[in-house]
Structure formats: structure tokens, C-alpha cells
Structure 1
Amino acid sequence: MIGLPTLHAALALLVATGMFVAFATNRFRIEIISLMTIGVIALMLYLFPIPGTAPKDGLALAFGGFGHTALITISALMVMGRGLVVTGALQPAARALGSVWRVNQHLGLLVTLGLAMGASMVVNDTPVLVLLIPIMVQLAQSGAMPASKTLIPLNAAILIGGMATTIGTSTNLLVVSIAADLGLPELSIFHFTHIVMIAALICLPYIWLIMPRLLPDNSVEAGHEPRRFIATLRIGTSSSYLGETGEAVAEKLPEGIDFMSTPDTIQPGGRIPVFATPEGLREAARKLGATAAPRWLIERLHRDTAKAGDDLIEAEMALSADSRLAGRTLQTAGIKGVAVLGVAQAPSRGFAPPREMSAEARLAEGDILLVLGRERDLQEFAQAESLLMLDGAKPLPRTSKALTAIAIMGTAVFLASFGIVPIAISALAGAIAMFITKCVHFDKVGRALSAKVIVLVAASIAIGRLIFDSGAAEYMGQLLAAGMAGLPGSIVLAMIMLFVTLLTNFASNATAAAVGTPIAFSLAGQLGLPVEPLVLAVLFGCNLCYATPIAYQTNMLIMAEGDYEFRDYLRTGIPLVILMVVSLSVILSITYGL
């Protein structure tokens, strides 16, 4: 007969439930809920210490997450991911994958999910996701699905792939190691891969086609078309399209750009008027070997920026009524220190005749300039010319650092994937290397880190330790064992998988593995079942961490980029958990004849 839980176990379950309900109702910001949870744990354990501990031990438990290796690892990985983005290191990969996305977005997502799932079978989940997040963000900026609709499905595919081998995740290794210590023969790397792959095929249609529909469009551009600018592309001598007809080249242009007048042939020194979005203008200039401002000016800006260690910023500025530029052309305005790449003309007012659609037309109040320069120079230009700096200024990739960023990330991933050093060490070393090489500027590291994720990680670590140290996890395991006597093997597998899934989604993978694996051995002896399928049920349950952002560090890594809320994970993750539990339980039962 199982009695009531201890006071601390009951309080731990109450705090965990309260945190979950607060997250799910979305009445308060995640940062506030996380900090309140940490505060409640600290106060509770200081006033009512766990037997055998001192009040200060409770404070260490509550606040220990802020110095935990998991938090340091996640922060370092976010910094390295930022380094890949700001240097443009992944643009070639994004363009290659983007070519598939342009054929069909659903096909592009399917190919991406397949690549991610395959890679995570042999490489740790976290580095795979860190490499793919910037690519998905760049694809979204190029017109593919919004990142908020692809990152959760991508994360799910990575987690399923990581579940398929003993080396896919550190949790798998932990379960296999504990089971080996308890007497189970050591499992080979691909011992249970076929089981997971069958379940993955069953669940793939949901991840691929339904999940994106359940997620919001959190992109900044959602709801309006990107602004288009009139610009002039100046063809350089190194263009790969020299000698080709204008009509042939026009068909190869990226989305978001059109020739305003099509040239007969592409010639060096030629000037082509275009109508383009900022992204389309950049991509067309790259493909054509052209510039949207005099080449000497663009080259000088790049030299000055590199010498000063600054970012080159692209910004949009609106002409006010008293701007000196009104009534002048770009060629006669005497603009210095910055490069104007294009103009978005304001509609003509009253009975004024419409202006010529040309980058050489006279400027007027309300026109918006696309300007390139250093941040300080842009601010001085806006102030001197009475321009209004609009939102959306963005640094251009520092492509000279791209190979350096790739080398740093590749080294960090290699060292962690093959177990040469822990991922916490390789990620931290990689982040420091990003700073030293100026791939990421130290004074702008705040753009790489998310306060919401940092506080949430610290709170989840605290709640996981509380559940384990208070005896709440052990008590739940006893209840589980007592309630499964006499049940069919497939139901036992499903229940233990669900139990471990609950632990992993609201505590931690390590807690779920440490608690669930001994329970599997105990149940096997009590119910007369083979140990191996029960251990695999624990291993699979530890990886079914889709339903909350606190379940696994990859869930938290995508939270900031996708601008997700807690309920987004619940809405998409709970159906996937149910699908996976049912599929894996049935497949395990058939495989082991239960």
C-alpha cells in the first residue's frame, strides 16, 4: 500500500503544476513566471529545508540554474549561431536549399526535415539545430515559410532522428549506460533504429503538413508586402552574365526584382534600372556582379567599415517636408559618407503630374531612401538632411569573416559530436573564438541572447532538481508500478513511456532517465516482462520532449527565433507525443511479442 507523498514531494508537484498552468494560460510573460517559480522554490526551501539539507542548500538549488552548464551551453550556442548569421556564412547553403523551396515550399520543408532527421542520428541534436536555425531564418527572409512555422517541425524531426541511435543524444547514452550497469547487455548503435524509423514514417505527415498550419506567422513582415525601391544596377567586369541577352537574364532573377527596361545584352559598365525589394536588390547584385551605387563608393565603405571594426548597415529613411534633398536628384544632392541604393517614391499630391519612375528623378517629401553606411554615418546623414530613420535597419553580412565563422562552428560541432570534449566546453570555446575573431562584436552580444530563454532555462533546471531531490519523481514511479499489475504488455509500455514523457517535459531528460530506467527493471521483475522493451520505452519517452519549451535545450534554442509562446509547444507537441507513444508502443509490442 502506497501512502501519501512527503511534504516536500507534494510541494514540488504543486509548484511544477502551478508553473505549467501559468505558462499554459499565458496571462503573464514567461520571464515573470520563471522568476516567480525560482523565487517560490528559494523561499520554500529556505523556510522548510529538505531533510538532511541546510536552508542555504535550498538557495543553491533554486538559483543554481544560472550557473548550470546547460545554460552556459545554450547561451554559447546562440552566440555561435549569431556569428553564422552576421557573417553570411550559411548563405550558400541557404541558397542551395532555397532552390528546392522555390520549386515547392512543401517539398522544401520535406527535404529539410529528412536531412535534419538523418543528420541527428549520428550527430548530437543540438549542433544540428544550431546549424539549421540560421538557414531557416535566411530562407524565411527570402520568401519561404516564416521561421515560426518551420522551426518547431524542424526541431521535432531532429529529436526523432536523435532518438533512433544510442549516440543520437546524451540522454540515450545515459539510459543505455544505466541499463548496462543494472545488467542489460549493451545495445549497439543501430539496435532500435528500425523501430524509431517506422514510427517516424507514421508521424511524418503530421510534422510535415499539419504542424506548420497550427503555428502562427510571427514574422515581422506578416500582413504586408515588403517595400520596393527604384534602383540602378551597375554591371561590373567580372559578371558571369556578360554577353547574355537581357531577356534570358531577366528569367534568372530572384523573386522581388524586375527590370524596368530590359537591355539587349549584359555589358560591362552597363546600367540597368530595376524595381526591387532590398533583399531582391542584394541578391540580383550578387548574381550579376553589379552594384546599386558607384562601385568605388561601395568598396570604400567596405574598407572603412572593416578598418573600424563596425557593421555596414542598410537602413530606410523618409524625406521630411524641410529636407534639403527635396527637389534635388541623387546625382546633384552632394551626398557624402553614405551610399543611396534606391528610392521608393511617394505618390504625387493633389494635381501634381506623376514623376518619372527613375532613380534619377527629383526627390520629394515622403520618398523613402534605401541607404548604406556605418551606423554613426547613417545617423549623422539623417540628422543633417532632416530624414526620418525608419524601423528595419539591418547589418549586412560581414562576408570576409564567413570562412572563419564556419571553421569555428565546424570545430565546435566536431569536438562535441565525437565526444572529444563536452558540448559545453566546445560551445563556450567557440563563442569566445567568435568574439576574438570579431565574427560577433562583444558590444552587440545582446542581439544573440534571449533573456526569456535564459530565465526559462534557469527555472526549468531548478524545478527538475526539486522534483528529483524532494522524492516526487520516486513517488510517481511507485504509483506507476502499483497501477500496472495485470495489464497487457503494450499498455504497460505505453504507460511507462507516458510517465517518462511527463517527467522529461516538466523536469529534465536526465531526471527522466535516472528515474525511469530503474523503474523499468523493477516492473520487468514484478510483471514478468522482458527488460529490453521496457528500457527502450524509457529511452523513447525521454526523447518525446515536444510539448513544452523547458523539456529540452533545443526547444529553448528555437523559442527566441520563432518568437514562440508556451501554448505553441502544447498545441503542436501534445498530438505528436500521442502519435509517437501509440506508434512506438505497438511497434515494440510486435517486435518483442508482448
Structure 2
Amino acid sequence: MAVFNCATICPIEEMEFSAFFTLVVMLLAAALFISERVRPDLVALIVLVFLGVGGVVTPQEAFAGFSGSAVMTILGISILSEALRQTGVTRWLGARMHRLGAGSEKRLILTTLLISAGLSLLMNNIAVVGVLLPAVLGLARRSRTSPSRLMMPLAYGTALGGMATLLTTANLIVSNALKDAGHQPFGLLDFFPIGAPLVAMGAVYMVTFGMRLMPRYMREDETLPQQLHEKLSHLYGLARRLYEIEVLAACPLAGQTLREARWLQRTGLRILTVRPQGRINLPPFAGMRIHAGDVLVVQGSLQMERLEELGLRFLRALPDLSPIAESGLSLAEIIVAPHGGLIGRTLQETRFNETYQLQVLGIWREGAPLLDDLGTIRIREGDTLLVQGSAERLHLLRRNPDWIVLEEDPDAPLKPERFGQALGITALTLGIAAFNILPVSLAVFGGAVLLLLTGCLDMQETYRVIEWKAIFLIAGMWPLSTAMRTSGLVNYLLQPLIGEMTHIPAWLVALVLILLALFLTQIMSGQVAALVLAPVALTLASRLNLDARALGMAVALGCSLSFPTPFGHPVNVLVMTPGGYTFRDYFRVGMPLTLLAIVFILLGLHFFWGI
């Protein structure tokens, strides 16, 4: 490879200066990362500028990271993840993960790690995190768990799962190097005997020592839907006025729409959700027809005599607002903006329900809730309204100067009607990437464009949700990888080691290759580390008369040891901000896991590969 022949391309003096300058920049960046005095993404940009100004890389090489496959994959994944969130796919997935992990934080961590590891057997690691990240964030809110307790298990699970399959990029690179050198390439299941125990070990570690080492950062900007519902229910006293009633065959309102029946005026009860014939909850709307057998969740003052007259049967009182969440509706508090045009007018006069397609459940005024005859109450400055409606309508309300949205459910889907489209496009995208029909970056970006074309997400939202921190971090560090190869620094670091490894045991050779892969992965990414070390492993195997495939396995698995730093793999960067992690957090949790993984890799190489 060019790495080992760069001395023939450049004069030795120039090459030595470039290598020395690259080493200085690398050590400076490491010091800044460890000190945490400068933001990681800013450190990456400093590295880019220094290497470019120093002439170690060309301007084209300095900015090549912004068009690199990893960056473009993250761009596409950011779009895909937000589309899944807005259409409710991740809420659905998070609910099922919550059922599996409900009961304890340990079960949540284990569920997150095993699901991410299982998916990474067949999918690109970045794609796995892109799909699961918003679902796991929703899981954290649903279970009232700090995201910092689940983000690392998510990232580490994908890395561990990738070590059990050929489909990881570093594994494929080493396999192709073996084939090009005339050796038998790795098969799909060759990694599984070592990778499966690694996944099991990682799961045990994360639910024991890892749990104790992981930080517990509580983000003040996170609103927990359950807490929000419980708080609002208690604050407005709604739990004492929530009921389920059934529409009987004798009901004179059956067969009419809510508008035709003048439901609120005749019953005094607001319908929150409807279960046609007792099935799934549906949000009410003016044109909805009520039929005999429908079960209604209502709010208001219940009068048994009046119910009997209208052919309605009382079923039970409800303790909370959970039926609203089940129906896909959201709750929010909105406050009347000062000097707004609605002050002094009633909700009926402003046709609030029809105009905003939201239902008012209560008005908070002077420290107490108003719950009766809301349509006739004149709005005052400072009034706060508890409203129910679709997340999309609440989202649009934020743009209205007459209202200020205080709190709303962050997981509520804005476009639930696009659920099937988003799920289908995502499945198609991941299938194309998993079977290598197209490169992962192109497949993911194509899927993102399809999601935009079908209306699952709009362009304005796209610019807001892109993970710019991850992009600048990866793109900024990209030139360092290029400089290490082109300046000859890698050659200087490896050649003395190669000479010293001619008289040591085979397992120690494998250990040295694993440690080199670990080191280079933190700086150059696992893919580049595999490109650099694969020929080294083949050279050593030839000189020492060792199994080339065994040493190749050591290199491939070592390139997946991304745990100790946020830069070992893009997935670590993706979860860094949601988890609130620092460089030290990764090192504290990831280094013990890395040492355990090295021991397991060496044991696996001994038992399955004879080293």
C-alpha cells in the first residue's frame, strides 16, 4: 500500500517534517479533547485548519471530510430519524422496547444493547443508531430514565454486534485483503464464534459495572409525557371528571355527527377519545358519527339521570389521561399572548375549536382551574388554556402570535398518517444497504430524498434536525487520518514494531495488532485502520509462518474497539449530545469494556484459530 512506500514518493526531509508536524497536531488535539476546555467539534476544526495551513494536506484533502461517506450517511440518517419520529414509527418502536425493558433500569439497558446488537448483525452501525436513537430517547422519557443511561448501551451494542458479522466495514476490508493476497476470505459466520461471546460479555458488563460507571445527567429541557399528563391532570383536577360511557341502541344521538348532534350543548360532556365498538382509541372531530356500541372517554360533570335520558351508559371513572396518549392526541398548555386579539372574547365567539382544531379542557385563571361552560368565558390576559389535539395542530399554533405554547408532548407524532410510508421507505432503504445493492451512504441518502418527496418530512424541518455537531467533528478529524497516511507517520510508528515482533509468541503478535488497531481506530476510524493494518498482518503472517486469517481476524476485531473515545466510530459521536457525554465519560465506561473485549478476542483466537 501507499502507506509503506511514501518514502519513495517524497524527499525524506519533507516527509520527516510532515510526519513531525502531524504528530504535534495529533498530540495537541488529544490534549484539548482530554482537558475538555474546548468543544470537541471546535477542536476538530482547529485540526483541519492547522493541517491545511501547515501544508501537510492540500485544501482539497482538508475539506474532503465534508463530502465523505460517513458524513453523507449521517446527513441521510438525520433526515430518516426525524421522519420516523414525526410519523410515529419511533414512538411505536419505543413503546415495544418499553414493554420488553419495563420494570427496571437494568432491563432497559439490556434491551437497548441487545436490540442494537441484533440489528447491527445485518445493518450498518450508523443506520442502526439512526433508527433507534429517537426511539431510545422516547423510551428514556417514557420510563423516566436519563438518556445518559441508555445512549452508551445503544452505541456500544452496535459495535459489539458488528464484531459478530462479516458485514461490518472493517471486517470486509480485511477479508478483501486476504482474498487479494491469495488467502481464503472470511465467510459470513466466521466472526460469530468470537463475536457472540463478546456481545454476551458486553451485555453483562453494561448491566453490572457499566451501570455504576455511566453518568446520570438529567436534561432540564426534556419533558416526560407521563409526568406532563399526570401533572396537568392533577393541576386541573381532571382525574375527578374523566369517565367512560357507552352509546346504547336507544340513544337518540346515535347515527349523527358530533356537529349535527350538538353533543357538547346537549350533554355537557367533552369527548376526548372515541373507541368505535370498543376498539382502538380515535380522536374526535366535528364530522365523526357516533354509533351504538361506541365507547367514549368524556370529561365534565356527570349526571346519571341525564345519561339515562340520552341512552348513554356509565362504565367507569378513569384515574388519568392515558387514553389521550393512546389515541395519538397531545396535551399542551397555551397562554394568551399579551395584547392578543382574543382578549375579551369567548371561545365560542372566536370559534376556537373550528379555527385551531383543538379542544379546550380547562382554563387556568388566578391560581385555579375553570372547567365548566368554557365556551362562554371571556378570555383575559394571562389566562392559560389546557388544550387537546393533534401534535401537528399544536406545532402550527407556535407560529400564531396570539398564543404561546408552554408545554407539549415531545414524542407526539406530527404526521401519523404517514406512518406506513415512512416505515416502508425505511425498510426498503435498510434492505438495499444490508444486501450491498448500493453503498450505504447512497442508499440512506436516497431513502431520505424519498421521505422528503412523500411528505414524511419537509425541507424546513430537515435543516433544523441535521446533526451538525457530529458532521463538523467527523469532517474536521478526517484530514488527520489523511495526514497520518500521506506524511509517513504511520510508517514511522509501525516499522520499528514490525522488526521487534519477529521473535515473540503468536498470541503476543495478535495482541500487538489488536492494540495498534485500537489506537489507530480512535484517530483514523476503524475502516482506515483496517486499510493500514491489513497488509501489516499479512506481512507478519508470512515472516513468522503464522495463519494469515487468524492475524487478519485480530486486526478486524481490533478495529471495532471504538469504546474508549467518542471518535472511535461515528455512532459514538451521534449519541454524544443526546447523552450529554464528555470525553472522560467514554474513557471511564469504555476502557474497562475494551480491556475485557481484548481478553475475549485473544481467548477466541486461541480456541477457534489456534493462536
Q: Return the TM-score normalized by structure 1.
A: 0.78
Within a 5 Å distance, the mapping from 1:441-480 to structure 2 comes to 441-480=458-497
User: Aligned partners of 1:370 and 1:454: how far apart in 2?
Assistant: 38
382 and 148 in structure 1: CA distance in 2 versus 1, 3 angstrom threshold? same
Within a 5 Å distance, the mapping from 1:368-447 to structure 2 comes to 369-370=386-387, 372=389, 374=393, 378=397, 383=402, 388-390=404-406, 396-447=413-464
The reply to whether residue 193 of structure 1 matches residue 192 of structure 2 is yes
Contact 1:498 1:541 in 2 (8 A): yes
CA drift at 1:146? 3.3
CA drift at 1:371? 6.1
Match of 2:96 in 1: 96
**Structure 2: segments with no counterpart, 5+ residues:** 1-11, 239-269, 281-296
CA drift at 1:509? 1.9
Counterpart secondary structure, 2:333:
strand
Match of 1:180 in 2: 179
Match of 1:84 in 2: 84
237 and 550 in structure 1: CA distance in 2 versus 1, 3 angstrom threshold? closer
CA drift at 1:141? 2.9
User: Aligned partners of 2:72 and 2:300: how far apart in 1?
Assistant: 51
Return 486-495 or 127-136, whichever deviates more.
Answer: 486-495
Match of 1:303 in 2: none
User: Aligned partners of 1:262 and 1:151: how far apart in 2?
Assistant: 46
Match of 1:234 in 2: 272
* Larger Cα-atom Rg: 2
325 and 519 in structure 1: CA distance in 2 versus 1, 3 angstrom threshold? same
Contact 1:105 1:145 in 2 (8 A): yes
The reply to whether residue 159 of structure 1 matches residue 163 of structure 2 is no
Contact 2:337 2:401 in 1 (8 A): no
User: Aligned partners of 2:341 and 2:61: how far apart in 1?
Assistant: 62
Counterpart secondary structure, 2:199:
helix
Contact 1:233 1:274 in 2 (8 A): no
Q: Which amino acid aligns with 1:378?
A: L
Contact 2:175 2:186 in 1 (8 A): yes
Match of 2:355 in 1: 337
Counterpart secondary structure, 1:317:
strand
The reply to whether residue 117 of structure 1 matches residue 117 of structure 2 is yes
Return 333-342 or 529-538, whichever deviates more.
Answer: 333-342
User: Aligned partners of 1:548 and 1:405: how far apart in 2?
Assistant: 33
Q: Which amino acid aligns with 2:397?
A: L
Percent sequence identity over aligned pairs: 23
Match of 1:285 in 2: 327
34 and 263 in structure 1: CA distance in 2 versus 1, 3 angstrom threshold? farther
Which residue, out of 546, 563, 581, partners 1:529? 546
The reply to whether residue 148 of structure 1 matches residue 148 of structure 2 is yes
Q: Which amino acid aligns with 1:234?
A: L
CA drift at 1:500? 0.6
Counterpart secondary structure, 1:187:
coil
Within a 5 Å distance, the mapping from 1:309-348 to structure 2 comes to 316-318=333-335, 335=352, 337-341=355-359
Counterpart secondary structure, 2:89:
coil
Return 429-438 or 99-108, whichever deviates more.
Answer: 99-108
Match of 1:298 in 2: none
User: Aligned partners of 1:562 and 1:181: how far apart in 2?
Assistant: 42
What CA deviation, in whole Å up to 9, does each residue of 1:258-301 have, x standing for no partner?
99999999x97989987757xx4642435xxxx78xxxxxxxxx
User: Aligned partners of 1:343 and 1:490: how far apart in 2?
Assistant: 70
Contact 2:563 2:591 in 1 (8 A): yes
CA drift at 1:343? 5.9
Contact 2:518 2:559 in 1 (8 A): yes
Q: Which amino acid aligns with 1:38?
A: L
Match of 2:291 in 1: none
Counterpart secondary structure, 2:30:
helix
389 and 201 in structure 1: CA distance in 2 versus 1, 3 angstrom threshold? closer
User: Aligned partners of 2:314 and 2:484: how far apart in 1?
Assistant: 69
Q: Which amino acid aligns with 1:21?
A: A
Q: Which amino acid aligns with 1:85?
A: R
User: Aligned partners of 2:446 and 2:348: how far apart in 1?
Assistant: 49
263 and 182 in structure 1: CA distance in 2 versus 1, 3 angstrom threshold? farther
Within a 5 Å distance, the mapping from 1:44-55 to structure 2 comes to 44-45=54-55, 49=56
Which residue, out of 8, 16, 23, partners 1:13? 23
The reply to whether residue 43 of structure 1 matches residue 53 of structure 2 is yes
Contact 1:546 1:573 in 2 (8 A): yes
CA drift at 1:366? 6.2
CA drift at 1:431? 1.4
What CA deviation, in whole Å up to 9, does each residue of 1:290-336 have, x standing for no partner?
x78xxxxxxxxxxxxxxxxxxxxx75323578889899986787536
89 and 235 in structure 1: CA distance in 2 versus 1, 3 angstrom threshold? closer
What CA deviation, in whole Å up to 9, does each residue of 1:212-236 have, x standing for no partner?
5413335445699534244555342
Q: Which amino acid aligns with 1:546?
A: F
Q: Which amino acid aligns with 1:39?
A: V
Q: Which amino acid aligns with 2:60?
A: A
Q: Which amino acid aligns with 2:276?
A: S
Q: Considering only aligned residues, what root-mean-square deviation do their CA atoms show, in Å?
A: 3.9
Counterpart secondary structure, 2:334:
strand
Contact 2:510 2:551 in 1 (8 A): yes
Contact 1:148 1:219 in 2 (8 A): no
Return 452-461 or 528-537, whichever deviates more.
Answer: 528-537
User: Aligned partners of 1:237 and 1:281: how far apart in 2?
Assistant: 10
143 and 58 in structure 1: CA distance in 2 versus 1, 3 angstrom threshold? same
Counterpart secondary structure, 2:567:
coil
CA drift at 1:77? 1.4
User: Aligned partners of 1:92 and 1:321: how far apart in 2?
Assistant: 38
User: Aligned partners of 1:263 and 1:591: how far apart in 2?
Assistant: 75
Q: Which amino acid aligns with 2:198?
A: A
The reply to whether residue 498 of structure 1 matches residue 536 of structure 2 is no
User: Aligned partners of 2:93 and 2:31: how far apart in 1?
Assistant: 41
Contact 1:82 1:440 in 2 (8 A): yes
User: Aligned partners of 1:555 and 1:117: how far apart in 2?
Assistant: 14
Match of 2:267 in 1: none
Contact 1:12 1:467 in 2 (8 A): yes
User: Aligned partners of 1:317 and 1:263: how far apart in 2?
Assistant: 30
Q: Which amino acid aligns with 1:285?
A: S
Within a 5 Å distance, the mapping from 1:246-325 to structure 2 comes to 280=322, 282-286=324-328, 316-318=333-335
User: Aligned partners of 1:132 and 1:274: how far apart in 2?
Assistant: 33
Return 218-227 or 81-90, whichever deviates more.
Answer: 218-227
550 and 320 in structure 1: CA distance in 2 versus 1, 3 angstrom threshold? same
Counterpart secondary structure, 2:47:
helix
CA drift at 1:456? 0.8
User: Aligned partners of 2:373 and 2:575: how far apart in 1?
Assistant: 40
Counterpart secondary structure, 2:272:
strand
CA drift at 1:534? 1.6
Q: Which amino acid aligns with 1:424?
A: S
Counterpart secondary structure, 2:186:
coil
User: Aligned partners of 1:44 and 1:30: how far apart in 2?
Assistant: 21
Counterpart secondary structure, 2:386:
strand
Q: Which amino acid aligns with 2:135?
A: I
Counterpart secondary structure, 1:236:
strand
Counterpart secondary structure, 1:409:
helix
CA drift at 1:379? 5.1
Counterpart secondary structure, 1:13:
helix
Q: Which amino acid aligns with 1:558?
A: V
Match of 1:254 in 2: none
146 and 239 in structure 1: CA distance in 2 versus 1, 3 angstrom threshold? farther
273 and 370 in structure 1: CA distance in 2 versus 1, 3 angstrom threshold? farther
**Structure 1: segments with no counterpart, 5+ residues:** 50-56, 243-256, 293-313
115 and 379 in structure 1: CA distance in 2 versus 1, 3 angstrom threshold? closer
